[in-house]
Structure 1
Amino acid sequence: MASWYFPVADAKAAVLVAPGNAGNRSFRAPLARALTARGLSVLLLDYRGYGGNPGEPSEDGLALDVRAAQDFLTREAGTPLIYFGESLGSAVVTELATERPPSALVLRSPFVDLASVGQRHYPFLPVRWLLRDEFPTTDAVARVKAPVTVVFGAEDSIVPAEQSREVAQAAGARTIEVPGADHNDPVFSDGPELIDAIAGAIR
């Protein structure tokens, strides 16, 4: 599984970055640059079927991939771990956190579950019957034994803001709502709101 690791000497923590459904690790290079500048080591994960990795993505497969990434960071970093997931990646790291608690969990634009997002975009289809994978973020996050921060855009056209608020409520999370921001706006690449949320997650 190809990923990129950016170690920082005497890092305050290491960040496992679980991406969303778009792009690959090269798209997250600005995020890694901003976080390493704040004294954090960073692992940019690409799942199976993404970024040149072999295989087909699935809920079970992504769970295996993120566990392999967490194993690597545990061996290499030797510092507190922050799990950061964006959109689909929020579901992936939340499930991981229920079994392997991090020092902190940061979720960007999380959805309630995959079917809830699908139902919004394809209301004429029986989405809950058709989806093979569930990614039940809200159910899982309620079981996480770590501080949780949820960051999302107020004008998100992919994952409605009310879904991210519902996830935050289930987690009892610190919430950062970015006014006017849509799902893929530059603020969620390396904007100050996001970087501050991750860098300040361990309190």
Structure 2
Amino acid sequence: MTIKIHAAIKSILTIVILVWLLMSLIVFFNQKNLIYVPLKKYTNTPKSYGLDFESIKLSTKDNETINSWFIPHKNSRATLLFLHGNGGNLSTRLDSIKIFHQLGLSVFIIDYRGYGESSGSPSEEGTYIDAETALIFLKDIKNLAEDEIIIYGRSLGGAVAIWLANKYKSLGLIVESSFTSIIDMGKYKYPYLPIKYLANIHYPSIEIISNVNTPSLFIHSKHDEIVPYEFGKNLFNSANEPKDFLDINGLHNDGFLTSGRIYTVGIEKFLKNKLKK
């Protein structure tokens, strides 16, 4: 009887270990597809929201072509460089573009490589290059000064925005619904796997944010079901002054809409008090 029990325990442990190894291998080899979920087809354009726009192709230093939209405002307070999240493309951000435009901002939004009409395949280094290319375009081609550009990123775009704000000065940084690092996200999603050793995509925002010296606004919902609220708070706590934190309502992908005036008034307050615009 004892021998049978030991054999059963051994079999169960073997199965658990094999499943653990299999899951680790799946995460390791599939992490790019888990993190980047691009949509190639555009569902609409700013025209459908009554907004004029320019469709602009940017060339990166590693020879990729990045598609972008520039939505001007007649009485622009500043230009917001919009770095979107890990899914969709430009056309799935039209509600946000309209909100920022109503706040008196011109908007310049890019699709990372592999998204929409942009060439190539997404990668961590690629998203950094694409964002840097966009910022240089605003400065060199649109002739905007550093204090006329706000760097904004939502979710994964928040990590890209933090990286960019650490490298270039700007009028302000807005980070919405973002995480501390991919490793922290992996540990949260897969607490039973050795994510630290499996991850080859990092986005280490928590290590970078303390080096950023730009007025910053962090936005997060306590009801975010994808990126924990505490991750947004940890970024805020590690950031330098001047900084603000805006609590919103709703889920990860719709908090900016369901929060209504909480969201727009919070951003307006940041623009007025911190950016003096």
Give me the TM-score of the superposition, normalised by structure 1: 0.92
Residue 132 of structure 1 aligns to a residue whose secondary structure is: coil
**1:114–1:126: structure 2 CA closer, same or farther, 3 Å change rule?**
same
Deviation at 1:65, TM superposition (A): 0.1
Contact map agreement 2:182 2:203 (CA 8 A) in 1 = yes
Contact map agreement 2:80 2:107 (CA 8 A) in 1 = yes
1:11 aligns with 2:79: no
Give the number of aligned pairs.
202
- In structure 2, stretches of 5+ residues that fail to align are 1-65
**Structure of greater relative contact order (alpha carbons < 8 Å, 6+ residues apart):** 1
Write the distance in 2 (CA, Å) between the matches of 1:73 and 1:192.
29
**1:176–1:61: structure 2 CA closer, same or farther, 3 Å change rule?**
same
Deviation at 1:190, TM superposition (A): 8.6
Write the distance in 1 (CA, Å) between the matches of 2:206 and 2:266.
20
Looking at secondary structure, tell me which structure has more helix per residue.
2
**1:147–1:97: structure 2 CA closer, same or farther, 3 Å change rule?**
same
1:22 aligns with 2:22: no
Please tell me whether Structure 1 or Structure 2 has the larger radius of gyration of its CA atoms. 2
User: Which residue of the partner structure matches residue 247 of structure 2?
Assistant: 177
Write the distance in 2 (CA, Å) between the matches of 1:106 and 1:98.
13
Write the distance in 2 (CA, Å) between the matches of 1:112 and 1:188.
24
Write the distance in 2 (CA, Å) between the matches of 1:20 and 1:44.
11
Contact map agreement 1:41 1:77 (CA 8 A) in 2 = no
- In structure 1, stretches of 5+ residues that fail to align are none
Residue 89 of structure 1 aligns to a residue whose secondary structure is: helix
Deviation at 1:124, TM superposition (A): 2.1
The one-letter code sitting in structure 2 at the alignment partner of 1:171 is A
User: Which residue of the partner structure matches residue 134 of structure 1?
Assistant: 202
RMSD: 1.8
What percentage of aligned pairs have identical amino acids?
31
**1:16–1:189: structure 2 CA closer, same or farther, 3 Å change rule?**
farther
**1:176–1:25: structure 2 CA closer, same or farther, 3 Å change rule?**
same
Contact map agreement 2:248 2:259 (CA 8 A) in 1 = no
> Which one of the candidate residues 77, 81, 102 is aligned to 2:170?
102
